[in-house]
Structure 1
Amino acid sequence: MTTKITPWSRRRFLAGSALTLAAPAILTSTRAYAANPFIRVGHVSPRTGPLAGFAEADDYVLGAINQAFAAGLENNGKTYGVEIISKDSQSNPNRAAEVAADLILGDEVDLIVAASTPDTVNPVSDQAEINEVPCITTDCPWQPYFFGRNGVPGEGFENTYHFFWGLEDVIGAFLDMWDKSGVAKTVGGLFPNDADGNAWGDAELGLPKPLAAAGYDLVDPGRFQPLSDDFSNQIAAFKAAGCEIVTGNMIPPDFATFWAQSAQQGFAPKVVTIGKALLFPSVIDALGPRGDGLTSEVWWSPNHPFTSSLTGDSSKDLADGYTAASGRPWTQPIGFKHALFEVVADVIKRAEDLEDPAAIVAAIAATNLDTITGTVNWADGPINNVTKTPLVAGQWQRDGDALDLKIVANAAAPDIPVTGDLKLLA
């Protein structure tokens, strides 16, 4: 859908029966804002489908944000209510574009936010760009976000902004960890035929060049289709090359299939470092004893030395709060979902004119905010519309009855403490 709307000729007020709420989708404060203006924020996330792990904590985060926004936000002497409308991308890019268009054209949101891989972030950002709606996104390496949307360096985008780390950061974190391992520098690459996989495996922008520069040989058998049921060709190629390290980026079901078939076919690498698939405790638990020792990037953890600009909570406070409320272990997206709304609050407070989308975009571009994930400052980024957050590397290690994600390499972000030593799988 590419219908373009006229920038904000409208202004909405909550008053009595003037607005009918779509209860399942709209998360608003119970506080009444009779005759007070409000800002409507659209939120898109993969609550269902193979990427649902990224949205596991959405209800908790949105509930806490809604509470933080309950008294409204001040802008130019007025108190604005904030209404959040959250929709499920179903882990499908087409669905993400559809619900983003619904938010923009149907719900008439003033600002839209999205998170969790290019499959959600890119189509939402594209809809916002087409319709001239301010947009903030996260949880996606910046290269698939920028180049996957055909961004032109030096030009960028008008209305869409992104904060997260880049492939150069994840490669640096992985190399920092692998260099500590002492294993052979032959690496098997697992790259799916999707936006993430194509970016990670790209000959110019992905892993091949920096790995070669660091003395590592990358064995890349080619792209596989997501939700594959047979990784025999990849396993045979890795065994033939003597790969002691396996890396890549894939969804959890694909890694589970690969890892089970590796055991069946006698392939036992000493280090396995996979992006995306190994982020979540639920995935690691499902792997049983073979989850112990797997490694991944760490974007956020209870040990990150950052504090929320919105609530004053530390990273540990936020993680512990989720565990207390849900009974489940913390997950990395919690921090970034929270940080999205830290930036939203900051932008709403600073925008010169909340009636004007261009003024909201200008406030986004001028952001310089210390968040629970680090500093968000679009004046200090690698390319237009992008700013970066710190990244380290970690390993799932047995800690009593549970597996805990230990930070084992932090060369690029020494202020984030190491909490364990790397152990080999075999």
Structure 2
Amino acid sequence: MGESRAVRERVLTVGVAVARSGRLASLGDPLQFALDRLAPKLAGRGPRGYSVRVVSRDTRSSARGAREAVEELVRQENAVIVVTLAGTEVLPAVADACEAAGVPCLSSAFPWQVYYYGRGADDDRPFDWTYHFCWGLDDIADVFADLWERVDGSGPHQPVGCLWNDGPQGRWSRHPERGFAPVARARGHRLVEPEPYREPATTLDAHINAFRDAGVDIVTSAATGRDLALFRAQTAEKGRRPRLITCSRWLAYPPSVTRSGELPPQAGVGTLAYWTRVHPYRSSIDGMTAAELAETYEQTTGRQALQPLGLAYALLEVASHALTTADDPTDRRSIAAALGRTRVHTMAGLLDWTRGPVPNIATVPLAGGQWQPGTRHDYELVIVTPGRVGGLPATGDLVTT
């Protein structure tokens, strides 16, 4: 058998499956920025005489495009590892395609229970090739409960209305063992759960009426920005307004005031804070801090820094670490084994695959944040509760209506 191209050319290829077109293109922006910034630095960090090149393919924001991107990266570019930052349909498609092709895959920005159990693994039968780092649904519940309990007058039995859809977000939130709901209940909160709505929603009257009847002043959700806007508009039409809304989906993106002057749907919403400029994180590749990365992104792009930027940077950091620590960096099985024993400080914090919670998974700690009017931008993510992020300062107080 002849030598592989990697051995022959002394080049190791990192493949990046990234949305550059379609509805997830904005999620692709931070990954593309990290790629552009780190690719030249990775070239000189190859193990044992190898250089590293980074090659990307557009997933086109679809499952089919994701599978085709992986196929091109593996067959045409000879990628020895693939990384991705994607959405509900695209990320599993990338990971499943890598699993089928026998190439290591590293991904993020997807609750780990949905990634792991939702793709068919279990505690005794993990994946062979695909690895992931993210927070869990249980972490979201704990962070949101921290926020709920800061609402004046709320107690442990304060009813919380659940605005959940009939898709993966809502289904896994309701899961009786591995979802959001059992952790929230264990914190003493009473959940009001109407039948899930079909996404995209055309009306949310049933939820609004159920919340009114139960005396709900706090609402939690995993809705899209569009459906969240619909809920807020219809609630206002009925003369009601929750004192606090928490939402875990699409809230990574900074809201901005519309041309008509209307408030964006995310305004005042409590959400996850997994990476901001005040997080005490530093890159293992170039030593850049979170504050420096956020500033560089804004000066370079003219746009507000996004939370996924920290995850995107970490994807390439972990890929580099796996290549340099693999027993044989040209062998995909060896690289997968290196991912499984990785423990490294990154721009997304300490990522440790040796601790679990299940094989192939490393967790990202969460803090509680809220989108509030800012000084540098229309809205900024204020850290209200530090959660499990050690050394993270609170930068503001919770604001309720």
Under a length normalisation based on structure 2, what TM-score does the superposition of the two structures give? Answer: 0.92
Are the aligned partners of 1:275 and 1:297 in contact in 2 as well (CA < 8 Å)? Answer: yes
Matching residue within 142, 148, 152 for 1:172: 142
Question: Partner residue of 2:186?
Answer: 213
Q: Does 1:147 align with 2:147?
A: no
The 1:50–1:224 alpha-carbon spacing in structure 2 relative to 1, beyond 3 Å, is farther
Partner residue in 2 for 1:399: 374
| 1:118 alignment partner in structure 2 | 88
51-60 vs 112-121, which moves further: 51-60
- State the match for 2:208 in structure 1: 235
**CA shift for structure 1 position 38:** 1.4
Query: Where do residues 40-79 of structure 1 align in structure 2 (5 Å cutoff)?
Result: 40-69=13-42, 71-76=43-48, 78-79=49-50
Instruction: Describe the superposition over 1:174-203 as per-residue Cα deviations: whole angstroms up to 9, x where unpaired.
Output: 111111113442111122232222211223
Name 1:134's counterpart in structure 2.
104
**Which region of structure 1 is more displaced relative to structure 2, 209-218 or 359-368?**
209-218
The answer to which of 181-190 and 129-138 deviates more is: 181-190
- Helix, strand or coil for the counterpart of 1:353? coil
The one of 349, 366, 372 equivalent to 2:324 is 349
- 1:115-146 Cα distance to aligned partner (Å, 9 max, x none): 13332221111111112111111111100000
| Greater Cα shift, 349-358 or 321-330 | 349-358
- In the alignment, which residue of structure 2 is the partner of 1:317? 292
Contact 2:229–2:265, Cα closer than 8 Å, also in 1:
no
Which residue matches 2:199? 226
Instruction: State which of 379, 385, 392 in structure 2 corresponds to 1:409.
Output: 385
Give the CA deviation at 1:337.
0.4
SS in 1 for 2:379: strand
* Structure 1 contact 393–410 (Cα < 8 Å) conserved: yes
Partner of 1:359: 334
SS in 2 for 1:412: coil
Q: Distance in 1 between matches of 2:196 and 2:89?
A: 17
Q: Could you tell me how far 1:327 is from its partner in structure 2? A: 1.1
The answer to whether the 8 A contact 1:72-1:82 is kept is: no
Q: What amino acid does structure 2 have at the position aligned with 1:274?
A: C
Structure 1 residues 230-309: aligned runs within 5 Å? 230-281=203-254, 283-286=255-258, 288=263, 291-309=266-284
Residue 101 (structure 2) pairs with residue 108 (structure 1): no
Q: Distance in 1 between matches of 2:110 and 2:213?
A: 33
Measure, in 1, the Cα distance between the counterparts of 2:2 and 2:209. Answer: 61
**Same amino acid, percent of matched pairs:** 29
Amino acid corresponding to residue 204 of structure 2 in structure 1: F
Q: What residue is the counterpart of 1:88 in the other structure?
A: 59
3-state SS, counterpart of residue 40 of structure 1: strand
* Residues 143, 368 of structure 2: 8 Å contact kept: yes
* Structure 1: gaps spanning 5 or more residues: 1-7, 15-34
Partner of residue 311, structure 2: 336
Is 1:382 the equivalent of 2:349? no
CA 1:200/1:47 → structure 2, altered by over 3 Å: closer, same or farther? farther
Instruction: Count the aligned residue pairs.
Output: 394
Partners of 1:36 and 1:80 within 8 A in 2: no
The match for 1:200 among 173, 176, 197 is 173
Which deviates more, 107-116 or 163-172?
A: 107-116
CA–CA distance in structure 1, aligned partners of residues 75 and 153 of structure 2: 54
CA contact (8 A) 1:114 1:120 kept: no
TM (norm. structure 1) is 0.86
Q: CA RMSD in A?
A: 2.2
| Aligned-pair CA distance for 1:165 | 0.9
Partner letter of residue 28 of structure 2? A
Shift of residue 248, structure 1, vs aligned partner: 1.6
